[in-house]
Amino acid sequence: MREKVQQILQKALESAVSKGELAIEGELPVPAVELPRNPEHGDFATGVAMQLARLAKRKPRDIAEILVRHIEDPARILAGTEIAGPGFVNIRLDPSVWFRALGEVLEQGQGFGRAEPKGVKVVVEYVSANPTGPMHVGHGRGAVTGDVIATLLDWAGYDVSR
């Protein structure tokens, strides 16, 4: 969700610059989106207006107002924004976002969280139990640990051979 909010802010910033409301030369910074210390301030917050104050030669609060005016949210992720203090933008998410996210999880089923294949082969070798020697607890622990590591690598998109 943080990345989606960051993309919305990035597009708003680009829009403000392209329409001439913010005069910033060079590369635009990627807006940092953080969790506010106080949950009453919203779900996320950004201080990008304060970062841009020196570049734009404007007050951070003015920059925050321009940024908020240029926010477009066609996916209806945001419930609202507010400008606080010297130029922080507090962001509240629409509660329906979480229900939509749960719907995506249910839709993906057993594949939820699995990464796209990377095309990289990995060999995980584990449990070298010597049939002529005594077995001990370490052999079982090694088998479980090795299998877990191999499964995690598989889910991360690697082509795993055990």
Residues 110-133 have pLDDT tens digits of: 889 899 999 999 999 887 666 677
For residue 54, the model assigns a pLDDT of 86
What does the alpha-carbon distance between residue 41 and residue 25 come to, in Å, rounded to a whole number?
Answer: 31
Beta strand segments in the chain, E: 44-46, 78-84, 88-93, 121-123, 159-161
pTM: 0.71
For residue 13, the model assigns a pLDDT of 94
For residue 155, the model assigns a pLDDT of 93
Amino acid type, 142: G
The per-residue pLDDT for range 34-69, each reduced to its tens digit, is 999 998 999 999 999 998 988 888 999 999 999 999
3-state secondary structure of 84: strand
Domains of the chain, CATH where assigned? 2-96 (3.30.1360.70), 115-161 (no CATH)
Q: What angle do CA 33, 36, 37 make, to 5 degrees?
A: 145
- In angstroms, the Cα distances linking 113 to 104, 108, 154 are 11, 9, 11
Percent of the chain with pLDDT over 90: 65
Q: Which residues pair with 129 in a beta bridge?
A: none
For residue 129, the model assigns a pLDDT of 64
